[in-house]
Amino acid sequence: GKARSWEVTKVRTTCPYCGVGCQLNLHMKGDKIVKVTGVEDAYPNKGRLCVKGRYGYDFIYSPERLTSPLIKENGKFREASWDEALDLVANKFKEIIATDGPDAVGGISCARSINEDSYQMQKLFRAAFKSPNIDHCARVCHAPTVAGLIKSFGTGGMTNSIEEFADTNCLFVIGSNMTEAHPIASTFVKNGQRNGAKLIVVDPRKAKLADYADEFAQIKVGSDVAFLNGLMNVLITEDLYDKDFVRDHCDNFEALKEKVLEYPPKRASEISGVSEEQIISIARMLADNKPGMAIYTLGITEHTCGTNNVMSVANLQMLLGNVGKPNAGVNPLRGQNNVQGACDMGALPNVYHGYQSVTDPAAKAKFEKAWNVEGLPDKLGLMIPDMFEKLETKEMKAIYIFGENVVGTEPDISHVIKCLEAAEFVVCNDIFQTETTQYADVVLPAAAWSEDEGTFTNCERRISRVRKVKEAPGIAKPNWWIFREIAKRFGQTWAADSGQELWDNEIAPLAPFFAGATFDKLDQGGIQWPCKTPEDPGTQILHLDGNFTHGKGHLMALDWTPPAEVPDADYPFTLSTGRRLYHYHTRTQTGRCEGLNELLPEEYADISEVDAKRLGIEHGEMILVKSRRGTVKVKAQVSERIPEGLVWMAMHYFENNANWLTTRSGDTITKTPEYKACAVAIEKIQ
């Protein structure tokens, strides 16, 4: 029946889906969420919510939730006590580390879970296992953002804030399907345009936002650096760049200039498919409408040149003087609700939390003292793609996968399965059985969103509270508790006994970026890091007045490089991948939300009208999409939004997940896979 208003209480929390980090009020009747509304006047969403935030909560009540630890015996899972399961995990890791060394184990943390969980997992690997091998799914999305922006600006986060989209004079959106992947962020873009900002959209697909654009540049997949160099060529040759800003706040201008002079509009046009006239007019529009904000997503990062793409966007904004001021900056929209946080918490192979380098002896000494341990690993750990490779060659023996459905989200699914099958020992923490937990030896049941107290950090560096409204089912436990209990079996006593104790006693005091953001302060509302002292209200805009973290902003001279796999006679199409509005990734959560399943019950491959006609494929007809790695059977969606030669798919459904087809070729710096480009063939099923 319908809840009566006097029985309903409201609890504020943070949305568990995308990196926008909308603030929600959960309307509770007992321990049941009966309705979700946006928190008025709260950043970043000011009361707005998309369909996932509003209707995507029933998964926590699913009867399919894991309620007990599971141990695999003779190929079947059986229930076990916590002591038995944790002893087994600890003993197996001890045994492997004793025989093969700490490099033989690896961990993948979770960008869906609270900061406190990721902090605790990297601590388990570093302090208890003495292994440097900890990473998480930023590797498959925004690792190039972190690496690229650290190189360009000194700090690897969005420079400005979502609310500023509504107040800027120009919005340059490249490689982002915001209306579906970050719906509420896109509403602020539309507000900005209504307030008079110019909107420039650059994408291979004519996605929804292009309908609103003043300029829509339908770029060829993987040609971003050439296109951006072309824009900068015009800015420099027409003398439209911000000379004062470049002189006072940037270095390496001469090298950049020399490089972009090799990309006059004609050459940029040949590579990118955008006309010379349009390249010139977009460059002029950018120069005439300042300040302006650059916004990008995975269309920039998921390429073999991902880090170069990021630095190229940073180059453009520095050249325009669009950094270090309000309504400007370089603004990557992070994918997962807490992928910013998982990076911030040091679930990366090169940094402790707060981006303190593992190779810095001072940082090592600091954490050895704080954690009361000796011998923290001081070399760089393995990135996820290397972990899989080493599992395949049996140099790595055990992998601990926390909350990631890697059989589905990593490229080349057949290869991922082969690697997990080759592993001697696989442990998963999860809230459901997934395609990945099938390969586990031990599955540990975890508390989900709304079953534990902690924090998420959104794409604009805003740390927000996540609150508990119900108990975890069965004997499921918070992830930070699970990691602590394993550490105990390695002889370590970790005192923190709640999200708050983890935050206030370890996370904040041990990282200058978070030092002033106490849990009590976070309880009053979100805070954007850096927040260094108790008086510090947080930082809305990074690099204010051109004061970059590492001194001067670094302009980079970058050349365009093509995708690793380009179409040929056998595989004449380019496959590009992404997400659709109603589902999230492999649907572990949204697949268990009735309303969302009704809205998108099956998957499609989007193809162009021209190609459909040429191949005699009807809208809705089953086709085969084949790559060098696999074949999937899927319905064709003939779309005017897709250019000739492109096939576009998502990863929401397992059978026809695009990742059966995608390539493992990755960014040269961060190894982030090139999900946005591989070669495929399509075939009508006769």
Measured from the CB atom, the residue of 50 and 279 that comes closer to ligand SF4 is: 50
**Interaction between residue 21 and ligand SF4 (CB under 6 A):** yes
Measured from the CB atom, the residue of 45 and 637 that comes closer to ligand SF4 is: 45
Contact 682, 608 (CB under 8 A): no
Q: How far is the CB of 541 from ligand SF4 (least distance, A)?
A: 21
**String of DSSP letters for 174-232:** ES--HHHHSHHHHHHHHHHHHTT-EEEEE-SS--GGGGG-SEEE-PPTT-HHHHHHHHH
Q: Which tokens go with 288?
A: 């005439």
In which order are the strands placed within the sheet that holds 527-528? 454-457, 462-466, 527-528
Residue 200 forms beta bridges with which residues?
Answer: 172, 215
Pattern 184-213, binding to ligand SF4, x per CB under 6 A? x-----------------------------
Q: Three-state SS for 256?
A: helix
**Interaction between residue 15 and ligand SF4 (CB under 6 A):** yes
Contact 403, 446 (CB under 8 A): yes
Which one of the spans 11-19, 153-161, 296-304, 408-416 is the region binding ligand SF4 (CB under 6 A)?
Answer: 11-19
Q: How far apart are CA 446 and CA 36, in angstroms?
A: 23
C-beta atoms surrounding 495 within 10 Å: 9
**Interaction between residue 18 and ligand SF4 (CB under 6 A):** yes
Measured from the CB atom, the residue of 259 and 334 that comes closer to ligand SF4 is: 334
Measured from the CB atom, the residue of 18 and 207 that comes closer to ligand SF4 is: 18
Q: How far is the CB of 34 from ligand SF4 (least distance, A)?
A: 18
**Interaction between residue 22 and ligand SF4 (CB under 6 A):** yes
Q: How far apart are CA 428 and CA 403, in angstroms?
A: 7
Contact 106, 422 (CB under 8 A): no
Measured from the CB atom, the residue of 184 and 236 that comes closer to ligand SF4 is: 184
| Residue 665: closest CA among 627, 626, 631, 625 | 627
Which one of the spans 12-20, 264-272, 565-573, 626-634 is the region binding ligand SF4 (CB under 6 A)?
Answer: 12-20
Measured from the CB atom, the residue of 557 and 600 that comes closer to ligand SF4 is: 600
Among 13, 25, 28, 53, binds ligand SF4 (CB under 6 A): 53
CA–CA distance from 348 to each of 311, 403, 428, 482, 621 (Å)?
A: 20, 16, 18, 20, 43
**Interaction between residue 26 and ligand SF4 (CB under 6 A):** no
Q: How far is the CB of 39 from ligand SF4 (least distance, A)?
A: 11
Q: How far is the CB of 324 from ligand SF4 (least distance, A)?
A: 27
Measured from the CB atom, the residue of 45 and 405 that comes closer to ligand SF4 is: 45
Among 13, 46, 52, 323, binds ligand SF4 (CB under 6 A): 52
Q: How far is the CB of 188 from ligand SF4 (least distance, A)?
A: 11
Among 102, 183, 346, 553, binds ligand SF4 (CB under 6 A): 183
Q: Which tokens go with 280?
A: 């010139």
Q: How far is the CB of 344 from ligand SF4 (least distance, A)?
A: 18
Measured from the CB atom, the residue of 341 and 381 that comes closer to ligand SF4 is: 341
Phi, psi (rounded to 5 degrees) for 381: -85, 180
| Residue 496: closest CA among 80, 135, 115 | 115
DSSP 8-state assignment for residue 590: G
**Interaction between residue 111 and ligand SF4 (CB under 6 A):** no
Q: Which helix (H) or strand (E) holds 414?
A: helix 413-422
Among 28, 49, 285, 343, binds ligand SF4 (CB under 6 A): 49
**Interaction between residue 605 and ligand SF4 (CB under 6 A):** no
Measured from the CB atom, the residue of 17 and 483 that comes closer to ligand SF4 is: 17
**Interaction between residue 564 and ligand SF4 (CB under 6 A):** no
CB-nearest residue to ligand SF4: 53
Q: Which tokens go with 58?
A: 């029933």
Q: How far is the CB of 13 from ligand SF4 (least distance, A)?
A: 11
Amino acid identity of residue 84, one-letter, is: E
Q: Cis before residue 530, ω within 30 degrees of 0? A: yes
E-strand stretches of 101-168: 105-109, 134-136
Q: How far is the CB of 48 from ligand SF4 (least distance, A)?
A: 8
Q: How far is the CB of 46 from ligand SF4 (least distance, A)?
A: 11
Q: Which tokens go with 633?
A: 């059977």
Measured from the CB atom, the residue of 34 and 544 that comes closer to ligand SF4 is: 34
Q: How far apart are CA 126 and CA 155, in angstroms?
A: 23
Q: Which tokens go with 331?
A: 């603004």
Q: Which tokens go with 76?
A: 């079947």
Measured from the CB atom, the residue of 184 and 384 that comes closer to ligand SF4 is: 184
Cα dihedral 147→301→675→280 (10° resolution): -150
Which one of the spans 10-18, 152-160, 222-230, 488-496 is the region binding ligand SF4 (CB under 6 A)?
Answer: 10-18
Among 13, 20, 292, 500, binds ligand SF4 (CB under 6 A): 20
Q: How far apart are CA 425 and CA 439, in angstroms?
A: 9
Measured from the CB atom, the residue of 355 and 456 that comes closer to ligand SF4 is: 456
Which one of the spans 78-86, 177-185, 465-473, 484-492 is the region binding ligand SF4 (CB under 6 A)?
Answer: 177-185
Matching residue, tokens 């990008």 = 296
How many chain residues touch ligand SF4 (CB under 6 A)? 14
Which one of the spans 44-52, 201-209, 467-475, 650-658 is the region binding ligand SF4 (CB under 6 A)?
Answer: 44-52
Which one of the spans 19-27, 504-512, 530-538, 603-611 is the region binding ligand SF4 (CB under 6 A)?
Answer: 19-27
Q: How far apart are CA 249 and CA 154, in angstroms?
A: 13
**Interaction between residue 50 and ligand SF4 (CB under 6 A):** yes
Q: How far is the CB of 458 from ligand SF4 (least distance, A)?
A: 8
Measured from the CB atom, the residue of 158 and 428 that comes closer to ligand SF4 is: 158
**Interaction between residue 295 and ligand SF4 (CB under 6 A):** no
Q: Specify the pairing of strand 678-684 against strand 604-608.
A: unpaired
**Interaction between residue 17 and ligand SF4 (CB under 6 A):** yes
Q: How far apart are CA 214 and CA 282, in angstroms?
A: 9
Phi, psi (rounded to 5 degrees) for 175: 65, 40
**Interaction between residue 36 and ligand SF4 (CB under 6 A):** no
Q: Which residues contact 159 (CB under 8 A, 6 or more apart)?
A: 149, 153, 323, 324, 328, 329, 330, 331, 541, 542, 543
Q: How far apart are CA 210 and CA 97, in angstroms?
A: 53
Q: How far is the CB of 163 from ligand SF4 (least distance, A)?
A: 14
Q: How far is the CB of 36 from ligand SF4 (least distance, A)?
A: 9
Q: How far is the CB of 413 from ligand SF4 (least distance, A)?
A: 25
Contact 541, 330 (CB under 8 A): no
Contact 442, 473 (CB under 8 A): no
Q: Which tokens go with 304?
A: 């073999």
**Interaction between residue 339 and ligand SF4 (CB under 6 A):** no
Tell which positions 486-515 bind ligand SF4, by CB under 6 A: none
Measured from the CB atom, the residue of 17 and 400 that comes closer to ligand SF4 is: 17
Residues in contact with ligand SF4 by the rule CB under 6 A = 15, 17-18, 20-22, 45, 49-50, 52-53, 182-184
